Amino acid sequence: MKACVLRAPALIETNPLEYAEVATPQPKAGEVLVRVRACGVCRTDLHVIEGQLPPRKSPLIPGHQVVGVIEKRGEGAQRFAAGARIGIAWLHRTDGTCEYCRAGVENLCDNPMFTGYTVDGGYAEFIVAPEDFTYAIPEGFPDEQAAPLLCAGIIGFRSLRLSGVKRGSRLGFYGFGAAGHVAIQVARHWGVEVFASTRDARHQKLAMELGAAWAGGTFDEPPKKLDAAIVFAPAGEIVPAALKALKKGGALILGGIHMSPIPSFSYDLLYQERVIRSVANNTRKDGEDFLRVAAEISIRTRVQVFPLSQANRALNALKNDAIPGAAVLRIGE
């Protein structure tokens, strides 16, 4: 099969992904072999490729927002029929036995495996995954539209939940890429007023088109104090600015897996019961709940499509904020 392979971490400007012929994987017991139709391009992929996340497998096929059809089922895999369209996300497998899994917070599992990081991912014509960690894709979402829902969508949804917003709340987004442009659709559906802070004028325009009450630069102060804010950008220097925008008792949610160092700041910014909380991975319930909500709302993702062979170009565009919405690789063409 054809796949984009990372031999060693390197800056994406060096185009480190090799478009190559590799062996097609085979499903083990409880697994399914999926013919990939589309795979979203995520900033986490960039962190993996450039080595901000410590290497865990080499060589590696990145990608963890996978939409495809079941080609073959391993022994005992009966949840989906052959030919069913399913999604594969970041959380590849958990141990199911650690204290966190037993407590229902499998996103904090002590021994997790991650798609496109500790196991091969979806920048390929085929991928294997445990069927228990895959998702039914709601009808009505074309493959390329569905792919960004599987990480940008799910993580944005978990961030919204942790923010505690409700109807009438004021919510700030810092960074407005793949996750932000999906999360705003959920927030507006919930009756939440959204204020978007992002450095790129195209992203500011998209935020306004999707219902933001205001859009400005990353460090511009929103016109109203916020009940909560979510930082999607991997830039630690945003944290003090976001705290300054919060009301008393406000929550600041950090939605990324990697962030540059957070600078020191005055305790006054945190005082009066403001809180900072990170988001780590997702549970399967997050994914199932989000996909149900996405179907109810008829969320629409803005995507720029690239062929699999041009994954390096897609990632370079992502790094340079040149993708309004989400980048998606189309497989098999």
What does the pLDDT look like over 175-217, one tens digit per residue? 999 999 999 999 999 999 999 999 999 999 999 999 999 999 9
CA distance 217 to 196: 8
What does the pLDDT look like over 27-46, one tens digit per residue? 999 999 999 999 999 999 99
Residue 147 domain flag: no
In a shared domain, residues 113 and 167: no
In a shared domain, residues 211 and 176: yes
Q: Which domain range does residue 120 map to?
A: 2-137+302-330
In a shared domain, residues 213 and 266: yes
* 262, 239 contact by CB (below 8 A): yes
DSSP character at residue 124: B
Rounded to the nearest 5 degrees, what angle is found at the Cα of 87, between the Cα atoms of 181 and 129? 135
Residue 70 has pLDDT above 90, yes or no: yes
Residue 146 domain flag: no
In a shared domain, residues 217 and 261: yes
Contact residues for 253 (Cβ-Cβ < 8 A; gap 6+): 159, 162, 163, 228, 229, 230, 231, 277, 278, 279
Number of domains in the chain: 2
Q: Which of 182, 205, 197, 199 is nearest to 297 (CA)?
A: 182
332 band by pLDDT with thresholds 50, 70 and 90 = confident
Please name the residue that has the structure tokens 């340079």.
Answer: 320
Q: How many CA atoms lie within 13 A of 274 on its CB side?
A: 25
333 band by pLDDT with thresholds 50, 70 and 90 = low
Q: Which of 215, 213, 206 is nearest to 179 (CA)?
A: 206
* pTM of the predicted model over 0.75: yes
Question: Tokens in use for 196?
Answer: 């978007």
In a shared domain, residues 11 and 129: yes
CA distance 87 to 67: 5
Q: What is the CATH number of the domain that holds 270?
A: 3.40.50.720
Question: Rounded to a whole number, what is the distance in angstroms from the first to the last CA of the chain?
Answer: 13
Chain centroid to CA 149: 8
In a shared domain, residues 159 and 269: yes
* 116, 123 contact by CB (below 8 A): yes
Which H or E run contains 178? Answer: helix 178-189
* 154, 116 contact by CB (below 8 A): no
